[in-house]
Structure 1
Amino acid sequence: MKSFLFRLYLMAMKLIARFTPIQNNKVVVLNGAGRSGSNGYLFGKYLQKNHPEYEVTIVEPWPSSHLPLKTWRKIGAAKFVFTTHQPFKVHARQVNIQFWHGIPLKRMGFMANNTSSKVDQRNAKLWQKNADIVCSSSDLYESLMSACCGIESNKYHKTGFPRIDALKNPVISKKQLLGDLFKTEDDEAQIGIYMPTFRYEMEDSQIMKQVQQGNFLTLFDFNIEQLNNSLKKNHQYLVVKLHPYEMKLFKHLQSDYSNIAFLNNDYLYRQDIDLYQLLGNTAFLITDFSSIYFDYLNIDKPIIFITNYLRQYEEKRGLLMGPYEEIVPGICVKTQQELMQAIARPDRYGAKRRYWLELTNQVQDQSSCANVVQLLKSI
């Protein structure tokens, strides 16, 4: 019912916004990706800083039923509408440029095990109707996206993704991260980050119960004191960045341990940054089935994969490539003991990371933001 009412709301607002004349220098970014690697937010900020010839409006959160009428008028006036999730525009004369929010690893749309054919077909029609340009990084990306969403090949443009520019050029230093999150200084510090995928969709209450009780790794042998001591011994620090849904399960997102800290959205908004603007100063990544690891390949640092729920995730939603433990460029672990050993072990996956980087980013030596601006000026 809520979904139906929201679609009615969108229809009504689009009708109102259509009465606003389009202006060629106006750009609107509909940011549905928050501050966790948002191509839209990062490109919008780049455009505001470097190209004053464009009038840029960043709308976040999106979608929302609480936008003021003046914001809808700005959406209606924009010649270019950038989106990070479903393509959207008010007028047929507007140009929708689709950034999306990650290289797909998990099945979605037509390929997913947990979606309906009716919804998939409706979404495919939205892509065909509203997405004029789809930014891409590689042939592999285009094949995966088209398999899931039915996107025509002529819509793709290999610009790369603005989040990769930010990843390569962090604005928050390692020293500041240590001070802000861990309240310490350490010249030997290695900061790692743990970013799991959206585990709620596995529909397993026990998993969410573990997270709520503090077992953010959801490992059966989880022992936070032991983990902290292991990190401390090696001058390693772990930043925990949970999915926004999981963050809501914690009353107070803070750690009482010296070498473990939670990173919440409040910190990112206070600094007026996106996660990727500090991610480049981390030394290793721990994840499960999040496609963030494709992006992390661009800074060529170790990645560790927690796979204790791999079979359950494959059955519930599915992955686009596999066998998973064979293709990922890093150590796979199922226990905390294995994880601690993996963090301390010398890296031996450099060649495999470079192999997957070549497959997923064919514009790795270019500025993605500059490529997108060039695309704007060519239209």
Structure 2
Amino acid sequence: MVKKVIRIILLNIFSLFPLDSRKIIFESNSEIKDNSKALFLKILDLGVNSKYKIIWPVENPKECKDAFKEYKNVSFVKKSKSGSSSLLFLYHCCTAKYCFYTHNPLGQRTREGQRKVFLTHGTPIKDTRGMFWPPYENTDIISTSEFAAYLRCKTFGGGDDVVRLLGFPRNDFLFKTDKGTEEYFDKIKKSKFIIWLPTFKRHNISVKRRDFDEDKNSDISILSPGFMEKLNNYLKAKDILLLIKYHPSQNLDYVSLKSYSNIITLTNDQLEKNNVDLYSLMGKSDALITDFSSVYIDYLLVNKPIGFELGDYKSYKNGRGFIVDNPLDFMPGEKIKSPGDLYTFIDNIFSGVDKYEEERIKLRNKMHKYVDGDSSERVLRYFELIN
């Protein structure tokens, strides 16, 4: 309570300082990732940082400073994932003209002239109502289409008057690659590549959070150790690679981290260690498996097959639930509820059978106004950061 009062006092004091029209601050849960990362990299690519000061609040400022030391006007300040912040972070929050964030709002709520831009981290079909800050704390909310914006504002309980249909910056990487991803992919590639991106079942920080109405011994019930061996042999016979990348919020105590000849399991830390961009890797895949993670909404842009692993569908529906009344109608792909269903999906990828393309395109057009890799530039142009 005392810390909260001190924080409010400091924010009010720092708000007396002039707003810096040449300062941009980013946030992505104390890391450099997601839509904020993509927009930041585009800023560096276009040289916008030669005219603007860029501020990143992160868990490890020194490590980030070393990684981006060749770029001018880029600074990193301390902000831990637990919520504690440095004085510099609070100061920049109050004085930056442009605040771009994906997980936690930046800026001072009542600061006139400040742009507080919620880039978001996906289009929800999961019911996340009650998990966000009031919509009036954002001056702008980025979305991908009118219907996607409707879903986002439904979770917020408002905000439709500040929605900007510009596309998500991270989706640009579905259409391009980078050196780190290219080198990693060359090491692992097979004749076909399927990427599996499950949503988290048990949170690694919010241990009391329960999105499902029941707990199981494994958070991906279909992937028992015994079945993983059989699945690997099946994939090996067809020269297919399956890469399972767990959600950054997943409690890793409840999933398998074992890799095989044709099954690789990865965490966020391992991706970063190998300098791999997840969305660039997704762009290289031949198909996606997920459950109800919003990542498949993004993947619609590349128009490749999607399999939906729904072993926990009823448990989730009876737990947190969905923001749409008929969630299965928003899943244009194979419904995987058993090992046999998974084998069928793999067979179809191997044989080039794609029964759901028409449904995917229909949903893609509903969820995306733009089908390209130019969202970052649209965002920068909208806020007049580039011409």
Task: Please show how residues 211-230 of structure 1 align to structure 2 within 5 Å.
Answer: 211=219, 216-218=220-222, 223-230=227-234
Task: Please show how residues 172-191 of structure 1 align to structure 2 within 5 Å.
Answer: 176-178=183-185, 182=188, 188-191=190-193
Q: 2: distance between equivalents of 1:172 and 1:189? A: 21
- 93-102 or 171-180, larger mean C-alpha shift: 171-180
The offset of 1:329, in angstroms, is 0.9
Which of 96, 100, 106 matches 2:120? 100
Task: Please show how residues 127-146 of structure 1 align to structure 2 within 5 Å.
Answer: 127-128=135-136, 130-146=137-153
Which of 218, 226, 241 matches 1:210? 218
Using the size of structure 2 for normalisation, the TM-score is: 0.81
- 196-205 or 342-351, larger mean C-alpha shift: 196-205
The offset of 1:326, in angstroms, is 3.6
Rate the CA distance shift 1:65–1:144 in 2: closer, same or farther, 3 A.
closer
Q: 2: distance between equivalents of 1:175 and 1:237? A: 16
Q: Give the partner amino acid of 1:292.
A: V
| Stretches of structure 1 lacking an aligned partner (at least 5 in a row) | 110-114
Report the count of equivalent residues.
351
**1:59 aligned residue:** 57
Residue deviations 1:102-152, cap 9 Å, x none?
Answer: 01110121xxxxx5xxxx7xx56x311x21011121110121122221223
Residue deviations 1:179-211, cap 9 Å, x none?
Answer: 55x4xxx5x52221111112123456742x224
Rate the CA distance shift 1:13–1:266 in 2: closer, same or farther, 3 A.
farther
Which of 329, 336, 341 matches 2:332? 329
**Is this contact kept in 2: 1:42–1:162, CA < 8 A?**
yes
Q: 2: distance between equivalents of 1:7 and 1:195? A: 37
What secondary structure does 1:261 align onto?
strand
Task: Please show how residues 9-88 of structure 1 align to structure 2 within 5 Å.
Answer: 10-32=7-29, 38-50=34-46, 51-52=48-49, 53-60=51-58, 64-88=82-106
Residue deviations 1:339-379, cap 9 Å, x none?
Answer: 02211112211111111110000122461111111111189
| Stretches of structure 2 lacking an aligned partner (at least 5 in a row) | 60-78, 203-209
Identity %: 25
**1:197 aligned residue:** 199
What secondary structure does 2:18 align onto?
coil
What secondary structure does 2:271 align onto?
helix
The offset of 1:92, in angstroms, is 1.0
What secondary structure does 1:267 align onto?
helix
Question: Is it true that 1:156 corresponds to 2:163 in the alignment?
Answer: yes
Higher helix share: 1
Which of 216, 240, 244 matches 1:240? 244
Q: Give the partner amino acid of 2:144.
A: S
Question: Is it true that 1:309 corresponds to 2:312 in the alignment?
Answer: yes
**Is this contact kept in 2: 1:222–1:336, CA < 8 A?**
no
**Is this contact kept in 2: 1:9–1:65, CA < 8 A?**
no
Q: 1: distance between equivalents of 2:128 and 2:173? A: 26
The offset of 1:85, in angstroms, is 2.7
**Is this contact kept in 1: 2:185–2:281, CA < 8 A?**
no
Q: CA RMSD in A?
A: 2.9
Using the size of structure 1 for normalisation, the TM-score is: 0.83
Rate the CA distance shift 1:245–1:149 in 2: closer, same or farther, 3 A.
closer
Q: 1: distance between equivalents of 2:91 and 2:30? A: 22
The offset of 1:246, in angstroms, is 3.0
**Is this contact kept in 2: 1:41–1:58, CA < 8 A?**
no
The offset of 1:305, in angstroms, is 0.5
Question: Is it true that 1:278 corresponds to 2:286 in the alignment?
Answer: no
Q: Give the partner amino acid of 1:192.
A: I
**Is this contact kept in 2: 1:305–1:332, CA < 8 A?**
yes
**2:65 aligned residue:** none
**Is this contact kept in 1: 2:116–2:139, CA < 8 A?**
yes
